[in-house]
Structure 1
Amino acid sequence: MKYLCDSAALIEGKSLGFDVDELKILAVRRAGQVYAYANRCPHRGVALEWRADEFLDASASLIQCATHGALFLIESGECVAGPCEGKSLRAIDCGEDAQGIWINPVEAD
């Protein structure tokens, strides 16, 4: 497991971006649970964020691609609207303990 960040850094309803071993990752906390995905749109292969650490739509209920507006479920990474509908973000196995948020080592695409 690789350390991602302190738990307090990822507050409810917010997202953060990270570079871990040459892989760009986004992490989101929703309903107390942490979700992590490769920061790569399945449609164009581009990074998703609007600005640094901003991956969510205006309601903070969906991950949104800044390039073409595709919307992804936070809980599963599935695209529910946009040109990549039916595809999904690549989930990154993650966990949280008293020391912080961790991810399992992964290879870059």
Structure 2
Amino acid sequence: MQKYLLCRHGELTEGQSKGFSLGDSAAGTANVFAVMKNGEVFAYKNNCPHRGINLEWQEDQFLDPDGALIQCASHGALFQIETGECVAGPCAGDALTPVPIEYGRDGIYVLMAD
């Protein structure tokens, strides 16, 4: 497992989503996004299970208009923030791929497979 600093404390706020590119050009990049809900951070690979494409069409826009669910901008699938489970749309029953997180003294880290 590789550990990457996702962001510093305070850079992701309640009800906000944010995308991140991890790694370097030699190793490739792993695109992930994170959402803070009820003080907890949930992170997922930025990959729709229906089409295998990024979820957002505008930078850091991963949530539906109400900020209650994660939304795929391409076809409108909706996912629960806490579990990544698709609750509406063409991939209902599938789920986003979670990325383990770790809270550190200087920020929030994600753990990615080598």
Q: TM-score, normalised by structure 2?
A: 0.90
1:28 paired to 2:35: yes
- 5+ residue gaps, structure 1, are none
Partner of 1:76: 83
**CA displacement at 1:60 relative to structure 2:** 0.4
Partner of 2:10: 8
Q: What are the superposed Cα offsets for residues 50-73 of structure 1, whole Å, 9 maximum, x if unpaired?
A: 310010001101000000000000
**CA displacement at 1:95 relative to structure 2:** 1.9
Tell me the matched-pair count: 107
Provide runs of 4+ in structure 1 moved above 6 Å: none
Partner of 1:85: 92
Greater mean alpha carbon deviation, residues 61-70 or residues 88-97 = 88-97
Q: Which amino acid aligns with 1:11?
A: T
Give the SS at the match of 1:9: coil
Partner of 2:67: 60
State the alpha-carbon separation in 1 of the partners of residues 112 and 18 from structure 2: 18
Partner of 2:26: none
- The alignment yields a C-alpha RMSD, in angstroms, of 1.0
State the alpha-carbon separation in 2 of the partners of residues 106 and 60 from structure 1: 29
